[in-house]
Amino acid sequence: MKNERIYLSSPYMDYVAVSQVTEWINQQKQSPIALSLLELEKKINLYLGKEKYSLALNSGTSAVHLALIMLGIKPNDEVLCQSNTFSASSNPIKYLNAKPVFIDSEPNTWNICPNVLEDAIKDRIVKTGKKPKAIIPVHIYGMPYQVKDISLVAEKYEIPVIEDAAEALGSMYKGEKCGTFGDYSVLSFNTNKIVTTYGGGMLISNNLDNYKRALYLSTQAKENQIYYSHKEVGYNFRMNKIAGSIGCVQMNKIDDRLEDRRGIFNFYKNIFSRYNYITIQEEPSVDFYSNHWLSCILIGKNKEDKTSEGLRLALEKENIESRPLWKPMHTQPVYKNELYYGGSIAESLFQKGLCLPSGSNLSSNEKDRITRTITKYLDS
Ligand SMILES: *Cc1c(COP(=O)(O)O)cnc(C)c1O
């Protein structure tokens, strides 16, 4: 009999949680008001621990899209975006017919490089006479980007930041939560994320006026009239109540989920410590605290000719899912005509890297299977 498949990051939902979600749904059955959404927003605001205004949306992608709209991004505006990311960070730039300008990573966090970012800004100003309109840095796999350095560049050139914290709920930089560092910040509750609503996201802003305007735009831009009256083009981006209910229940357990993911990271760190050609994506200093949404490794050059693709195939043979790191956006066919600044760091991460099964519900049996498969491949 074939072993059951171990997934990269399967959603966590136990029986208790399911019954709590049912209670929430019952409570809201008759009400036209989305109580669960307001409650989830309150929970996130409290969790982030700063004066922030979270708006529950149907996806993280919609949150990036709406952030760009809130910043008034127009066709042909340039938007700087980390290249080492998932396409959801950059696709909304194209939805608005604006132009992504992709930026390379730095090796410590694998995220957007502050020096390349500043060089790119200077060069765009020289070449176009205009500043780029926004910066989208990403906390990839939950690892905070160089928040201080990126914020300094953004402030120096007065360019707003859309912080893509989709993968980083619970991560911290200098003791402050990711999701609080942007003019707008984005969370995702996609099925594979650390907290899931089986599809959903949050747009986080700094004041109540922005929250109200984003709410208005995300609910079809209805004017306050008895009949349907619209002065602007609106969007259908609001989260649904059932997703909100799931989110409320999930947020009660965020501390446990963090502990799970960070435990899984330590499990891998322990396995790989014997191999000096393998590095794990690790916090570069005490300023960084990753939720370790996914545990990821790089397999460097070695005498034994072990590769990330070799390890991936060995795991796959045992019905264990693993995946290469994000393929940098500037190397994607769909973005082949876009601008890129930097060297080959993001590309070399892609060539050497592998994301390992990191679901919060990984059992000790599954961990044993993973350990055996990895050591068998590396020691053979
Ligand atoms: C998951 C994710 C998003 C948002 O994705 P949705 O599936 O639309 O919620 C955005 N950016 C990154 C880096 C992500 O991983």
81-131 per-position pLDDT tens digit: 999 999 999 999 999 999 999 999 999 999 999 999 999 999 999 999 999
Which residue has the least CA distance to atom 2 on ligand 1?
A: 166
Beta strands in 87-232 (DSSP E): 99-103, 134-136, 162-164, 172-173, 176-177, 184-188, 201-205
Average pLDDT for the chain: 96
First to last CA, the chain: 25
Give mean pLDDT, residues 264-278. Answer: 97
Which residue has the least CA distance to atom 9 on ligand 1?
A: 60
pLDDT of 190 above 80: yes
Contact residues of ligand 1, CB 6 A cut-off: 59-61, 85-86, 88-89, 138, 164, 166-167, 188, 190, 201
In the reported structure, the alpha carbon of residue 228 is separated from the centroid of ligand 1 by a whole-number distance in angstroms of 32
> Which pLDDT belongs to residue 302?
96
Euclidean distance between CA atoms 239 and 42, whole angstroms? 14
pLDDT of 153 above 90: yes
Give mean pLDDT, residues 149-163. Answer: 98
Instruction: From 59, 84, 86, 293, give the residue whose CB has the most ligand 1 atoms within 8 Å, as the site to mutate.
Output: 86
| Nearest atom in ligand 1 to 167's CA | 15
In the reported structure, the alpha carbon of residue 18 is separated from the centroid of ligand 1 by a whole-number distance in angstroms of 24
Q: What is the pTM of this model?
A: 0.97
Q: Are the C-beta atoms of 98 and 123 separated by less than 8 Å?
A: no
In the reported structure, the alpha carbon of residue 138 is separated from the centroid of ligand 1 by a whole-number distance in angstroms of 10
Give mean pLDDT, residues 186-197. Answer: 95
Confidence tier at 234 by pLDDT (50, 70, 90): very high
In the reported structure, the alpha carbon of residue 31 is separated from the centroid of ligand 1 by a whole-number distance in angstroms of 30
**Of 199, 204, 198, whose CA–CA distance to 181 is shortest?**
204
What are the CA-CA distances from residue 76 to residues 92, 96, 137, 251, 340 (Å)? 13, 9, 20, 39, 16
Confidence tier at 1 by pLDDT (50, 70, 90): low
Rounded percentage of the chain residues whose pLDDT exceeds 90? 92
Euclidean distance between CA atoms 56 and 39, whole angstroms? 10
In the reported structure, the alpha carbon of residue 288 is separated from the centroid of ligand 1 by a whole-number distance in angstroms of 21
| Nearest atom in ligand 1 to 86's CA | 13
pLDDT of 24 above 90: no
DSSP assigned state of 316: H
